[in-house]
Structure 1
Amino acid sequence: MWSKVFFVCLLSALQQSSFGVDLKFRECSPRMPTAVSNWSSPYCVCNSTYCDDAPRISRPSGSFRSYVLISTSKDGLRFSTSTGSFRGSDAAPDIKPDASITVDPSMTYQDILGFGAAATDATGININSLPEAAQNEFMRSYFSEDGLEYTIIRVPMAGTDFSTRPYSYAMVENDTLLEYFALAEEDHRFKIPFIRRAMKLSRRPINLLASPWSPSPWMKARPTWIGSNTLKREYWHTWAFYFAKFFKEYQDQGLNFWALTPQNEPLNAFGALPINSMEWTVEDQRDWVVNFLVPILKKTGFGNINIILVDGMRHLLPEWPQIFMNDSSTRKQFAGTGVHWYLDHSYSVDRLDETHDLFPDKFIIYTESCPDYDADLGSWYRAEQFAVSIIDTLNHWVVGWLDWNMALDERGGPNWNGNFMGAGVIVNGSAGEFYKQPTFYTMGHFSKYVPPGSVRIGTSNEGPFEIKTVAFRRPDNSTAIVFLNTHDSERIISVSDITKGAIEFSIPGKSIHTLIYW
């Protein structure tokens, strides 16, 4: 079956030189998971000598109505490409589409900021477990022109649960002036080298986003890393200075930050979750940011770093942004709102609209999203979860969407507290291999083909709810439409654009596609 898929994709590629599709891209080397379920799909195997690419797409020669369709499916397609042309004013074929998509380029919405994931300790540990050549393939897969071209990296400030130990940069007790502040071995071995390699590979600028999980226990009301806990008020100044010290240390390594969040999931500690955490009430966090963090960052030369508030689940919207930005003097301190996807199933996407309507000059970005519970090789269910979330949130003013860990091991770690999860890439260090999950390809349908600076444009969808769409005008003035078919069966799609004409094509059941046309 897989050799047939490979042959069809290769034959299609050989026909596409005039359509702006790179002929040299390498196809997925598929492998099915050992434990097969109704949601099982191939994952793609990479090693030191071979790894598949994300095909480069450029403006084709000839007709201005040309299009390229990039496809990924539960049955095994991975960035498969096909090409064609809009039929202009020609008579419509005798086909009854299941869904009719109409594009309205005159209706414009938010600019896209980018897509990415986090440079956790677990990510760095797993990369370092691979041979050097396989490491290079891993980095290319995420950051090069032949990869997903991620443009945002979230950088934890010290440890998270996806570390092998809890730690901070201020481990000496009562060091209120932070005279002993120091980056950890993990920064020098895992995070900083990883970020440098990513920036060297990328043709697009990469934005760094900093987030803290927990200060040292001596700064907290209860001297623990986890559980219900707050920052002692006598250390509010010290904790703000901690941020400035962190940015200076990274600046000395040649790395500058685009943005920060004041606290990862500030309500986690209230729920006593078993991860590094610290709780904040919204009023206390606002007062700390406005009266301590902002002045210290300005004084130390880091006042240009954007502050993204909330960095928690959707149920905090729009109340937290309202309290943070309740007057003009505080509102100007914040660039946008960060959201995590974990409770989206319980809280309406309308909360994003409400937040945008209140603060239309402030962006909304999803700063963390992750499938729960272990690695789950080859899960199409998780790929579909990602696609549904990304399409739904982009259609409601979100400007970017971040995965959590870029790489985990076959258990879904390491994680010092056993909180194993999934990732876009699973690493088998002992075999010198890594496995690209279906979620990796879901991310690429957006990060690769909807670059920063793209603008969401209007669409209408006459068809079943199983077909989800979102459309953009890209910086090169082409149009990109992402389609998701959540149904088990093939569906016929019609796309109409008043500036180009119409096309019809079929898409497999359980599949995601990016259509690009000029």
Structure 2
Amino acid sequence: MWRTVLLVCLLSALQQPSFCDDLKFRECSPRMPTRVSNWSSTYCVCNSTYCDDAPRISRPSGSFRSYVLISTSKDGLRFSISSGRFRRSDAAPGIKPDASITVDPSVTYQDIFGFGAAATDATGINVNSLPKAAQNEFMRSYFSEDGLEYTIIRVPMAGTDFSTRPYSYAMVENDTLLEYFALAEEDYRYKIPFIRRAMGLSKRPINLLASPWSPSPWMKVRPTWIGSNSLKRKYWYTWAFYFAKFFKEYQDQGLNFWALTPQNEPLNAFGALPINSMEWTAEEQRDWVVNFLVPVLKKTGFDNIDIILVDGMRHLLPEWPQVFMNDSATRKLFAGTGVHWYLDHSYSADRLDDTHHMFPEKFIIYTESCPDYDEDLGSWYRAEQFALSIIDTLNRWVVSWLDWNMALDERGGPNWNRNFMGAGVIVNASAGEFYKQPTFYTLGHFSKYVPPGSVRIGTSNEGPFEIKTVAFRRPDNSTAIVFLNTHDSERIISVSDITKGAIEFSIPGKSIHTLIYW
């Protein structure tokens, strides 16, 4: 599996310094799905003895005007490497491009905070179902220098639909002072060990984001986990104290949180979706956060935790942030806005621009994104959906983009109410294997090669609408451009940078690429 990679790196090294930090990174072990459609692609098989790597790319000496291209495609490329040099801008191009990208490093936008996903119970259950050696390969694939290097983990506060049961940390009825508050078995078996393993592998700092789905039914107007329901006002203080108790319990386990969202999808319950939920209006949630949550966090020493608003679909923008932040006294209490991608096809990305321009000092983060369940592995359609969303939202001021479950089983679960979904990795416990979907590699083109501290920079694009791009200046002062070709056919791309010159290269149909140059 290493031969092709070695050959590319060694041939490149004859012409210029090699970009391959480790010549022995492992390639995908591909498998085609049993049933093939127009959107089918390979998936990569991992087990206790073998799993592919995300190649490390580092700046070599004498690298001025040099570039490396990392490529993934529907026809089977997975983090494939090629490299070359820029020509002078006044030199004649060798081929006529279909699309011309001009980079302007002097135009800068938002800082990138990082990429990641959630440590759900389902993820922990599926990882634990694998042999130990395969578990290690899974964790390396997401968090090590040979993996995607995720830097944000969203941690559900108690149960979600991707648990085997609905639960909270306050299961004793009328325990208003939370004397019987206790983390669940799921925290000790799945979430905490998973987070510790991730942090032990990662060379980059990992930030934890907490989000609740539902309190116990005894705290709610209707005593149910699901359906149209809200928090009884007499328990507003109890619910705020619940957050502080959660942070203290995790702190005692050596885990500290960067941020919280007050509620996962606060309008879900109004629509009676069958998942653990609790409804809030924007005005009620603002009053609870300002008058209960913030004072309790301050009193208990957790006021350093950032508060992220909304944590729902972008049809709530910019109205929800306006309710919270139009008042100057409360605006300073909030760090940013969290968005879920599920209704993006119905509501314009202009809502992100509007929110940014109203509150330019506050960040926007995509806190949850998840493909639909697909019984056939290897869907390129899901990968392209992710890539389109990430490129579009990063071009609209978003600083981070988080996936939902990191691993699900072959049914898209477990999920206590059968709300099955897709994931970047599918676990086959009976075979002791896990399968990396094309969406896994799509995310890696960003999380691996656009590290925290990167800054989005200006680009202009002349050519077919099928070519989507977004560009960054990385912390090491190199430039990274992510390209997506949604067309079925090969396209020739030209990239011009006033500081480097120009290059031309071809990319296959249905493919995503990260170009890095120094």
Same fold (TM over 0.5): yes
The 8 Å contact of residues 169 and 181 in structure 2, kept in 1 or not, is answered as yes
For the structure 1 residues 14 and 155, does the alpha-carbon distance in structure 2 shift closer, same or farther, using more than 3 Å as the test?
farther
Deviations 1:304-359 (A, max 9, x none): 00000000000000000000112111101100000000000000000000000000
Give the Cα separation in 2 of the matches to 1:106 and 1:11. Answer: 34
Give the Cα separation in 2 of the matches to 1:383 and 1:10. Answer: 31
The 8 Å contact of residues 2 and 24 in structure 2, kept in 1 or not, is answered as no
Q: Note the aligned Cα RMSD (angstroms).
A: 1.8
The 8 Å contact of residues 73 and 511 in structure 2, kept in 1 or not, is answered as yes
| Identity across the alignment (%) | 91
SS in 2 for 1:476: coil
The 8 Å contact of residues 454 and 475 in structure 1, kept in 2 or not, is answered as yes
For the structure 1 residues 10 and 87, does the alpha-carbon distance in structure 2 shift closer, same or farther, using more than 3 Å as the test?
closer
Which piece of structure 1 moves more, 106-115 or 90-99?
Answer: 90-99
Deviations 1:73-111 (A, max 9, x none): 000000000010001245222422100000000000000
For the structure 1 residues 69 and 49, does the alpha-carbon distance in structure 2 shift closer, same or farther, using more than 3 Å as the test?
same
Deviations 1:367-426 (A, max 9, x none): 000011345410000000000000000000000000000000000000000000000100
TM-score (norm 1): 0.97
SS in 1 for 2:18: helix
Residue of structure 1 equivalent to 2:264: 264
CA drift of 1:49 comes to 0.4
CA drift of 1:2 comes to 13
Aligned residues: 518
The 8 Å contact of residues 17 and 62 in structure 2, kept in 1 or not, is answered as no
Give the Cα separation in 2 of the matches to 1:227 and 1:296. Answer: 28
CA drift of 1:483 comes to 0.2
Give the Cα separation in 2 of the matches to 1:13 and 1:429. Answer: 41
The 8 Å contact of residues 409 and 426 in structure 2, kept in 1 or not, is answered as yes
CA drift of 1:7 comes to 8.1
Unaligned runs of 5+ in 2: none
CA drift of 1:39 comes to 0.3
For the structure 1 residues 6 and 435, does the alpha-carbon distance in structure 2 shift closer, same or farther, using more than 3 Å as the test?
farther
Deviations 1:94-146 (A, max 9, x none): 42210000000000000000000000000000000000000000000000000
The 8 Å contact of residues 468 and 485 in structure 1, kept in 2 or not, is answered as yes
Give the Cα separation in 2 of the matches to 1:19 and 1:128. Answer: 36
Which piece of structure 1 moves more, 1-10 or 58-67?
Answer: 1-10
Give the Cα separation in 2 of the matches to 1:432 and 1:9. Answer: 32
CA drift of 1:61 comes to 2.3
Give the Cα separation in 1 of the matches to 2:14 and 2:235. Answer: 64
The 8 Å contact of residues 375 and 409 in structure 1, kept in 2 or not, is answered as no
1:177-256 → structure 2 map (5 Å cutoff): 177-256=177-256
SS in 2 for 1:446: helix
SS in 1 for 2:57: coil
SS in 1 for 2:247: helix
Q: Does 1:502 align with 2:502?
A: yes
The 8 Å contact of residues 391 and 469 in structure 1, kept in 2 or not, is answered as yes
For the structure 1 residues 46 and 16, does the alpha-carbon distance in structure 2 shift closer, same or farther, using more than 3 Å as the test?
farther
Give the Cα separation in 2 of the matches to 1:247 and 1:2. Answer: 45
The 8 Å contact of residues 13 and 23 in structure 1, kept in 2 or not, is answered as no
The 8 Å contact of residues 120 and 162 in structure 2, kept in 1 or not, is answered as yes
SS in 2 for 1:399: strand
The 8 Å contact of residues 12 and 84 in structure 2, kept in 1 or not, is answered as no
CA drift of 1:60 comes to 1.9
Give the Cα separation in 2 of the matches to 1:376 and 1:249. Answer: 40
Q: Does 1:486 align with 2:486?
A: yes
Give the Cα separation in 2 of the matches to 1:376 and 1:293. Answer: 44
Residue of structure 2 equivalent to 1:34: 34
The 8 Å contact of residues 294 and 303 in structure 1, kept in 2 or not, is answered as yes
The 8 Å contact of residues 262 and 308 in structure 2, kept in 1 or not, is answered as yes
CA drift of 1:12 comes to 7.0
Deviations 1:263-301 (A, max 9, x none): 000000000001000000000000000000000000000
For the structure 1 residues 353 and 273, does the alpha-carbon distance in structure 2 shift closer, same or farther, using more than 3 Å as the test?
same
Give the Cα separation in 2 of the matches to 1:495 and 1:129. Answer: 46
TM-score (norm 2): 0.97
The 8 Å contact of residues 20 and 61 in structure 1, kept in 2 or not, is answered as no
SS in 1 for 2:231: coil
Which piece of structure 1 moves more, 90-99 or 279-288?
Answer: 90-99
Which piece of structure 1 moves more, 55-64 or 11-20?
Answer: 11-20
For the structure 1 residues 55 and 5, does the alpha-carbon distance in structure 2 shift closer, same or farther, using more than 3 Å as the test?
closer
For the structure 1 residues 458 and 165, does the alpha-carbon distance in structure 2 shift closer, same or farther, using more than 3 Å as the test?
same
Give the Cα separation in 2 of the matches to 1:93 and 1:374. Answer: 43
The 8 Å contact of residues 17 and 23 in structure 1, kept in 2 or not, is answered as no
CA drift of 1:19 comes to 2.9
Give the Cα separation in 2 of the matches to 1:372 and 1:386. Answer: 11
For the structure 1 residues 140 and 17, does the alpha-carbon distance in structure 2 shift closer, same or farther, using more than 3 Å as the test?
farther
The 8 Å contact of residues 2 and 26 in structure 2, kept in 1 or not, is answered as no
Unaligned runs of 5+ in 1: none
Which piece of structure 1 moves more, 18-27 or 49-58?
Answer: 18-27
The 8 Å contact of residues 268 and 279 in structure 1, kept in 2 or not, is answered as yes
Give the Cα separation in 2 of the matches to 1:131 and 1:512. Answer: 32
1:152-167 → structure 2 map (5 Å cutoff): 152-167=152-167
Q: Does 1:393 align with 2:393?
A: yes
The 8 Å contact of residues 2 and 30 in structure 1, kept in 2 or not, is answered as no
Q: Does 1:323 align with 2:315?
A: no
The 8 Å contact of residues 375 and 423 in structure 1, kept in 2 or not, is answered as no
Which piece of structure 1 moves more, 356-365 or 59-68?
Answer: 59-68
Deviations 1:442-463 (A, max 9, x none): 0000000000000000000001
The 8 Å contact of residues 45 and 51 in structure 1, kept in 2 or not, is answered as yes
The 8 Å contact of residues 68 and 516 in structure 1, kept in 2 or not, is answered as yes
CA drift of 1:15 comes to 8.3
Give the Cα separation in 2 of the matches to 1:330 and 1:376. Answer: 48
Give the Cα separation in 2 of the matches to 1:127 and 1:395. Answer: 34
The 8 Å contact of residues 41 and 74 in structure 2, kept in 1 or not, is answered as yes
Residue of structure 2 equivalent to 1:416: 416
The 8 Å contact of residues 16 and 83 in structure 1, kept in 2 or not, is answered as no
Residue of structure 1 equivalent to 2:314: 314
The 8 Å contact of residues 412 and 422 in structure 1, kept in 2 or not, is answered as yes
Give the Cα separation in 2 of the matches to 1:286 and 1:159. Answer: 24
Give the Cα separation in 1 of the matches to 2:128 and 2:158. Answer: 19
CA drift of 1:5 comes to 10
